[in-house]
Amino acid sequence: MISRRALLTGTAAAATALTYPAWGSALSPHATAAPPTCELALENKSLPGNVNAYVTGHEQGSGRWVLLRANGGVYRPESPAQPQTPLPVDCAIPLRAAGAGPVVLTLPQMFGARVYFVRDGKLDFFLNPGPSLVEPAFATPADPNYGRTWSFCEFTFNPQQLYANISYVDLVTALPIGLTLQGDATHTVAPLPAGALQRIADGLVSQSARDGKPWDKLVLRGPNGAVLRVISPQNLMAPYFDRPDQMPFRDSWNSYINQVWNKYRTTDLRIDLQGGRGVLRGRVSGDTLTFTGGHSFPKPTSKDIFTCNHGPFANNPGDPDDKKALLARLAAGFNRSTLLTHPDQPNGATTADYYRDPVTNHFSRVLHANTPIGYAFPYDDVRPDGQPDVSGAAHDGNPRRFTVRVGS
């Protein structure tokens, strides 16, 4: 899992949305060389009014921030003298009217990338020295983009493959995005169903009434009271990372964590790394879960579970692949609340077993109850062998055309 970005105001962000498989089952172990470019088709499928797109990411090889332009060029911003300098070039890509077909550009290899859509307006981007691109903030009311109707999907196009996903790790909005990736095969990811945003909001408000946790605070509304977007728990928590005693959801997982740690003091937790990499067995001693092979994980906190990128779930670049595979499956088991009921992970459970405990990631539960696919937490691509992929990911080692549509 790639940690994405800091909040635009300079405070710590949740920074957990995916742009690459989370050491789950999506990445092909036999990927070969991908072409240097492919077609990128951006289409307004059904939205009235004007729609603009933006394509941002890091250039493969140099790592520099780049943005695609409507004329087919690539803009490489220079480092500004001051933080929060407005992007000096308009990189909006106007889409055609609803149903009029796509705008087609040439997509170079880039990673940590996003395709943004905004309805009836444009987005404001800024630069910090480096340069570092400051992208729109969805949970910061002071950001000029906060009240606008926009959303994004994520992708990485590297020398091995193009990998894309419909990400709800950070937020869900009223702009439904769908994907089609054509290469050695055709991969399609459906958009958010009509009316799903309101149903997700209603489900979280109801859950808050049941357990007293601030699930209702994940629902952000516009001036007229309508649902503007729904943010994930880690984004509500992020402004309080330096004030843990005030952090929302800070104790939400405590009882479940303690039960899991107590269970595996006397019982093996068996995690299949999948892809023929074997099964590792873990036991708890003290506050540490240690697996065969020596990889160990200290007791997590609610922050660690919701973010999947702190404490024992911090993704360190130098960690070996088998530890990253353990991390992903352990984090997924917590978020889905399957660790008490299924000592074999992830293959001991099915999707029907997810989110059954009262202590669970209810954002993910409600999201998946209202849309068939889409990342709801950073390791949502972890799945039992033979079970359907619910993460909303598409990948191909020989991409020819990547189509991103907005509208249902």
| Residue pair 164/153 in contact by the 8 Å Cβ criterion | yes
Residue 219 neighbours by CB distance under 10 Å: 21
What integer pLDDT is reported at residue 20 of this predicted model?
37
For residues 96 and 250, give the distance between their C-alpha atoms in angstroms, rounded to a whole number. Answer: 46
Q: Which residues of the chain have pLDDT under 70?
A: 1-32
∠ CA(280), CA(283), CA(289), 5° rounding?
Answer: 90
| Residue pair 33/159 in contact by the 8 Å Cβ criterion | yes
E strand or H helix at 208, and its extent?
helix 196-211
**Ramachandran region of residue 25, left (φ > 0), alpha (ψ -120 to 50) or beta?**
alpha
What's the number of CA atoms in the CB half-sphere (13 Å) around residue 285?
6
For residues 76 and 328, give the distance between their C-alpha atoms in angstroms, rounded to a whole number. Answer: 34
What integer pLDDT is reported at residue 272 of this predicted model?
97
**Ramachandran region of residue 199, left (φ > 0), alpha (ψ -120 to 50) or beta?**
alpha
| Residue pair 381/147 in contact by the 8 Å Cβ criterion | no
Buried b (16+ CB within 10 A) or exposed e, 332-352: bbbbbbbbbebbebbbebeee
Record the pTM.
0.88
Q: Are strands 401-406 and 37-44 parallel, antiparallel or unpaired?
A: parallel
The structure tokens 């092909």 sit at 28
What integer pLDDT is reported at residue 32 of this predicted model?
67
Going by the DSSP 8-state scheme, the letter that residue 140 receives in this structure is -
For residues 339 and 332, give the distance between their C-alpha atoms in angstroms, rounded to a whole number. Answer: 9
Taking the CA atoms of 309, 312, 314 and 317 in sequence, report the sign of the dihedral they define.
Answer: negative
Helix (H, G, I), strand (E, B) or coil at 307: helix
The structure tokens 């309508």 sit at 226
What integer pLDDT is reported at residue 229 of this predicted model?
96
What integer pLDDT is reported at residue 9 of this predicted model?
23
For residues 230 and 371, give the distance between their C-alpha atoms in angstroms, rounded to a whole number. Answer: 14
